[in-house]
Each structure stands twice: as structure tokens, then as C-alpha cells.
Homo-oligomer: A and B are copies of this chain.
């Protein structure tokens, strides 16, 4: 399937744009490819895009003072990723984004997103709903952190994204769950 069709199918699930509107909408996106391990957003970068994943897996993550990594999100096809705090506030990136596998993405600048939201009411509707789902998901994950232990969170993650298990190194899954890789290893070997 072509990038344009993938995005169109995705957007049309929450917003009704006419064909001409969608053509215009799509014209603001830039196609890019990245290799496994490549950095898309590095700490301290100026952030001016968000990324729609066409193929491959990305991760967005934070590195603390002890060089420990925490994964905020695995981004898979039809997911969006960026350092949204930096993108909206204009601050430098504290969240990094890189490629777990080779990946194809569509880039949209923050400027163009706002322009599209102004010009096409339906596109603002789309972005409102997208963020909405993200907000609800973040709240759920927060609750899961407070409520559940590591094993529970691990099972939850695999139930929700079975494909991750094969694609993503266990270390990264541990970083997502907020436990050490040793603990994760012990979890599923007992």
C-alpha cells in the first residue's frame, strides 16, 4: 500500500476530509526512510516535526542522569511519535526518538500541523481525537504503574502487542515496563 493510502485510511477513521482536502493535507507531509538504530530526534535537538510511521518500529525514550533509559512509547505502523512537549513548547528535546528496525515515516512540521488545523476544520478534529486517545492511553498506563506489579504489566503489554515480543529486544521491554532487564528475565523464566 502507498504512503498516501495508508495515511488516508488512518485519518478517515476519525475525520471526513474530501478528496481534494486530503490531497492538500497530504501535500504537507514528507516521506523519509531511516535505518535500524538511526536517531530521529536526539536529546537537545530542536524539534519541529512529528512522525507518522508507515513501516518499522520506533521507540521514544528518556535517558536520566544515571544513563538509565525509560521508554515512553513503542511506535508501530500508523502510530504517531515525537517529543510533543518540545514540539509544542519550542523547548529543546528531552525525549529522544530512534529506530528499532528500518523504518519509513511521514514527517509533518508543527507549523504545518497548525496551518492545516486552521485551514481545514476536519483536520483539527482529527488531531483532537488522536491526542485524546493518547491522553486516555497515558492515563491507563499511569494507573497500571500505580496498581500493578512488574509481572502484571508485562503480561498486559504482551497481550496488547503480541508482535513486540519477537521484534523488540527484552532490554527495551524492560525499559518500557520500568524494571531492570534482570527482573524481566526472571519474570518469564518462572
Contact = CB atoms under 8 A, between A and B. Distances in A.
A77 interface: no
Interface string A44-72: 00000000000000000010100010101
A146 B146 CA distance: 10
Contacts of A125: 117, 124
A131 interface: yes
What is the count of identical protomers in the complex? 2
A65 to B, nearest CB: 9
A64 B148 CA distance: 10
B143 A142 contact: no
Contacts of A143: 62, 70, 72
A128 B124 contact: yes
A189 interface: no
Nearest to A62: B143
A141 B68 CA distance: 17
Given A72-B139, A138-B138, A145-B146, 13 more contacts: A62-B143, A64-B147, A72-B143, A84-B135, A84-B139, A85-B139, A88-B132, A88-B136, A117-B125, A124-B128, A128-B128, A138-B139, A146-B178
8 residue pairs, one from A and one from B, having the closest CB atoms:
A138-B138, A128-B128, A146-B178, A135-B135, A70-B146, A121-B121, A85-B136, A131-B131
